[in-house]
C-alpha cells in the first residue's frame, strides 16, 4: 500500500502563469495514470479501489484549482496608480511635443504660430504656443492624463468585479455520474474560459470607450456653449462625420449618440485585436501579488506593449484613411484646411487617398511608440509598487 501511494503524482504548485501541471493524456484524450498496488489489477482489491478514488479526487482538485487560476488571470485588475502615471506621462510629453514642432517650423513674418493649438489656452490657463507655455501646458496635460488614467483603470476594475461575480455564479462544472469532475473537460474549460473572457473584455471596452467618448463630447459641447463666445468655431467641424451634430444644447445629445457609437466600435475593436494578438498567452500576462496568491482577488494586469501598439495603431491609421476618403468622396478635400494641418505632424499626409495611406503608416508608428511608452511605464510602476510580493 505504501509503495503504491509513493507512485501517486505529487501535487504541483502553480506555475508563474497560475496554471497547474497535469498528468499526461493518452490516445483518447484522457489522463493516463499507472497504479501499481501489487494486486495484479484485480477489481476486487480494496487497496486498488481506494487508490483509484484518491487519484480521481486529486485530479478533480487540480483541475478545479487550475481553472480557478485561469479564471482569475483572464479577469486581472488594473493598478490604478500605475495607469494614472502612464497616461499622465504620455499627455505631459504629447502637448509640449506638439508645441515644439510648431515652434521649430515657425511661421511667416506677421503670422502667429499655431493659432489653432493656442485655442487650448481657453481651457488650460497659462498655455500658449511658446516655450514657456509648453511647460505650463505639460503640467496641465499631466494632471488631465492622471485623471483619465485613473478613471480608465477604475472603470475596468469595477466592470470586471461585476461581470466576474456574475460569471462565477453561473460557471458550469462538468461532473460525472459518480460525483467526480471529468478529466477530459479540463482543456475544453480552459478554451471556453479564454473565449468568454475575450468576449467580455470586448464588451467592457466597447461600453467604456463608448460612454467615455460620448460623455466627453456631450460635456465639451455644453461647456463650450456656456463659456465660449464662438462655440462652433471648431466643434462644428465634427458635423462632417457626425450628421446632425452642432455646437448647441440640442446638438450635444446628437454628439453623445455619435460619440458612443464611434467609441464603442473603436473600443471593441481594440480589445479584440489585443486579445487575438496574444492568443493563448493572454492568461500568462498577469502579476500575482500576495493577495492574489491567497485567491482573495484577481491578479494584477500586465500590459503587452506590442499588442497594445498593434491594436491602437491599426485603429488610428484606419480611422485616418476612412476620414480622408470620406472628405474626398464629398468633394471637400481642397476645402479641408484643418485636415491639411496634420501634415505638420505627419509629413507625408495630404487630403488624398494616397496621402492618407502614407499618413496612416506614419500615424501607426507614432501611436505604436506612444502605446509602448504607456505599457512599459504601467508595468514598471506596477512592479515597483508591488516589489517583494509579486510572484
State how far the Cα of 284 lies from the Cα of 280, in Å rounded to an integer: 8
Average pLDDT estimate for 231-260: 89
Q: What does each C-alpha distance from 238 to 38, 176, 221, 242, 249 come to in angstroms? A: 81, 59, 11, 6, 15
Q: Are 341 and 49 in contact (CB under 8 A)?
A: no
C-alpha cell at 324: 480622408
Q: What pLDDT is stored for residue 189 in this prediction?
A: 56
State how far the Cα of 179 lies from the Cα of 70, in Å rounded to an integer: 23
Q: What pLDDT is stored for residue 40 in this prediction?
A: 53
Q: What residue spans of the chain are helical by DSSP H?
A: 2-6, 46-74, 80-105, 131-170, 186-227, 232-235, 249-278, 290-293, 305-330, 337-340, 353-385
Cell 461575480, residue? 165
Q: 28-42, 182-196, 224-238, 242-256: which range is least confident on average?
A: 28-42
Provide the whole-model pTM: 0.74
Average pLDDT estimate for 255-276: 93
Q: 12-26, 82-96, 251-265: which range is least confident on average?
A: 12-26
What would you report as the CA-atom Rg of the chain, rounded to the nearest whole angstrom?
28
Give per-residue burial for 317-334: e unless 16+ CB within 10 Å, then b: bebbbebbeebbeeeebe
Choose among 391, 238, 369: nearest CA to 316: 369
Could you tell me which residue, 376 or 36, shows the higher pLDDT? 376
Q: What pLDDT is stored for residue 60 in this prediction?
A: 47
Helix axes 131-170, 80-105, angle to 10 degrees: 150
- Whether the pLDDT of residue 188 is over 60: the answer is no
Coil, strand or helix at 300: strand
Average pLDDT, the chain: 78
Partners of 175 in beta bridges: 181
CB atoms within 10 A of CB 139: 15
Q: What pLDDT is stored for residue 11 in this prediction?
A: 42
Q: What pLDDT is stored for residue 386 in this prediction?
A: 79
pLDDT (tens digit per residue) in 92-138: 999 999 999 999 988 767 667 888 888 888 788 999 999 999 999 99
Q: What pLDDT is stored for residue 320 in this prediction?
A: 95
Q: Are 16 and 284 in contact (CB under 8 A)?
A: yes
Q: What pLDDT is stored for residue 51 in this prediction?
A: 47
pLDDT (tens digit per residue) in 301-320: 889 999 999 999 999 999 99
Please, what sign has the CA dihedral across residues 88, 93, 94, 98? positive
- Whether the pLDDT of residue 226 is over 90: the answer is no
Q: What pLDDT is stored for residue 272 in this prediction?
A: 92
DSSP output for 225-246 = HHH-SSTHHHHGGGGGTSTT--
DSSP output for 166-222 = HHHHH----B-TTSSB-GGGHHHHHHHHHHHHHHHHHHHHHHHHHHHHHHHHHHHHH
Q: Are 254 and 260 in contact (CB under 8 A)?
A: no
- Whether the pLDDT of residue 61 is over 80: the answer is no
Amino acid at each position: 500500500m505504501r509503495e503504491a501511494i509513493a507512485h501517486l503524482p505529487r501535487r504541483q504548485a502553480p506555475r508563474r502563469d497560475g496554471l497547474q501541471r497535469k498528468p499526461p493524456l493518452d490516445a483518447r484524450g484522457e489522463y493516463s495514470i499507472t497504479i501499481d498496488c501489487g494486486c495484479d489489477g484485480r477489481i476486487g482489491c480494496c487497496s486498488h479501489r481506494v487508490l483509484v478514488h484518491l487519484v480521481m479526487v486529486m485530479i478533480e482538485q487540480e483541475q478545479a484549482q487550475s481553472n480557478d487560476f485561469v479564471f482569475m488571470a483572464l479577469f486581472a485588475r488594473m493598478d490604478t496608480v500605475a495607469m494614472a502615471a502612464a497616461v499622465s506621462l504620455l499627455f505631459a510629453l504629447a502637448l509640449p511635443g506638439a508645441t515644439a514642432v510648431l515652434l521649430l517650423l515657425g511661421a511667416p513674418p506677421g503670422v502667429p504660430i499655431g493659432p489653432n493649438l493656442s485655442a487650448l489656452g481657453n481651457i488650460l490657463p497659462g498655455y500658449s504656443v511658446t516655450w514657456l507655455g509648453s511647460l505650463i501646458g505639460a503640467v496641465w496635460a499631466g494632471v488631465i492624463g492622471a485623471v483619465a488614467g485613473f478613471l480608465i483603470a477604475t472603470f475596468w476594475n469595477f466592470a470586471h468585479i461585476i461581470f466576474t461575480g456574475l460569471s462565477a455564479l453561473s460557471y458550469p462544472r462538468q461532473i460525472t455520474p459518480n460525483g467526480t469532475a471529468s478529466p477530459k473537460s479540463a482543456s475544453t474549460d480552459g478554451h471556453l474560459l479564454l473565449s468568454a473572457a475575450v468576449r467580455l473584455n470586448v464588451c467592457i471596452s466597447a461600453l467604456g470607450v463608448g460612454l467615455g467618448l460620448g460623455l466627453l463630447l456631450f460635456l465639451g459641447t455644453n461647456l463650450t456653449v456656456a463659456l465660449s463666445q464662438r462655440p462652433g468655431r471648431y466643434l462644428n467641424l465634427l458635423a462632417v462625420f457626425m450628421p446632425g451634430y452642432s455646437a448647441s444644447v440640442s446638438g450635444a445629445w446628437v454628439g453623445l449618440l455619435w460619440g458612443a457609437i464611434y467609441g464603442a466600435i473603436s473600443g471593441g475593436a481594440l480589445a479584440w485585436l489585443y486579445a487575438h494578438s496574444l492568443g493563448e498567452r493572454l492568461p500568462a500576462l498577469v502579476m500575482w501579488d500576495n493577495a492574489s496568491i491567497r485567491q482573495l482577488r484577481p491578479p494584477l494586469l500586465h500590459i503587452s506593449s506590442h499588442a497594445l501598439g498593434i491594436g491602437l495603431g491599426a485603429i488610428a491609421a484606419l480611422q485616418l484613411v476612412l476620414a480622408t476618403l470620406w472628405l474626398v468622396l464629398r468633394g471637400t478635400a481642397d476645402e479641408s484646411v484643418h485636415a491639411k494641418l496634420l501634415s505638420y505632424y505627419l509629413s507625408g499626409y495630404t487630403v488624398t487617398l494616397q496621402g492618407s495611406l502614407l499618413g496612416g503608416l506614419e500615424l501607426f508608428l507614432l501611436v505604436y511608440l506612444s502605446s509602448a511608452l504607456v505599457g512599459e511605464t504601467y508595468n514598471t510602476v506596477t512592479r515597483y509598487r508591488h516589489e517583494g510580493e509579486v510572484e
